[in-house]
Amino acid sequence: MYQFTGFTQDDFNVFAIPEFHDRMSALRTRIRPKLAMIGDDLAPKLSDFLHHKIYPHTASHARRRVNPPDDTWVSFSRNQRGYKRFAHFEVGITLDYVFVRFVVKPEGEDDKPFLLRYLQDSGLESFRLLDSAAVYWYRDDHGVDPLPIAEITADLLPQIMRHTEIKSHGFTVGIILPKTDPVVGKAELISRAYNAIVHLSPLYIGTVPSEAFSK
């Protein structure tokens, strides 16, 4: 049985709160506990699937002092101490939807070279990711400028790689589940997120150094 029971409209409304301290307080009291439940529910399943220990990390946004975040998430990393330096998955929420993503952040120096090598070696095959929802490539790790991966061509792939190579850029691919989708309000979201991660996993497996899979 899962701890997580679903997001409500009030949870999505948190991201419409204009004042910094009020939104941060609502994130801590309403959203973060639910993300922690998703982390606890999903991490063991992902550890079994990926054949190495996966640790959940709930975003705290501790460095923010002025602008409240427009999204928040729980990440799943092979490192117990954190996730930003490593290829990881995220399940998160923003004003209008829930998202499930594979992410290499700009800080992900440890894994970005392996990702670029995988994209170079696999070409368009690296974007052959099947899911019942549309899968998007994003210009940043907060869901900016979604491009359906079905529209990625041999001409676009070098542009995506050059974009990823820039030190201030990362790499993000994932799906969105609109807040109107009944699954986001149920424990069933755990299974839906897991299935999405399974579909995204070739990017993770192609990126993460092989020694991680022997631990």
Domains of the chain, with CATH numbers?
A: 9-57+68-214 (3.30.930.20)
**DSSP for 50-99, written as a single string:** HTS--EEEE---TT-SSSPPSEEEEEEES-SS-STTS-EEEEEEESSEEE
Q: Tens digit of pLDDT for each residue in 139-161?
A: 988 888 899 999 999 999 999 99
Please measure the distance between the N-terminal and C-terminal CA atoms of the chain and give it in whole angstroms.
27
**Continuous segment of H or E residues that includes residue 161:** helix 156-165
The SS3 assignment for 112 reads helix
Phi, psi of 145 (to 5 degrees): 55, 65
The answer to whether 172 touches 141, Cβ cutoff 8 Å, is yes
Task: Look at residue 212 in the predicted model and tell me its pLDDT.
Answer: 65
Check pLDDT > 70 for residue 214: no
* Closest residue by Cα to residue 184 from 124, 123, 103, 95: 95
User: What is the pTM assigned to this prediction?
Assistant: 0.95
Average pLDDT over residues 104-131: 93
The total of other beta-carbon atoms located within 10 Å of residue 43's CB is 18
Are residues 59 and 42 in contact, defined by beta-carbon separation less than 8 angstroms?
A: no
pLDDT class of 13 with cuts at 50, 70, 90: very high
CB 44 within 8 A of CB 37: no
- Tell me the mean pLDDT in the region 168-176: 96
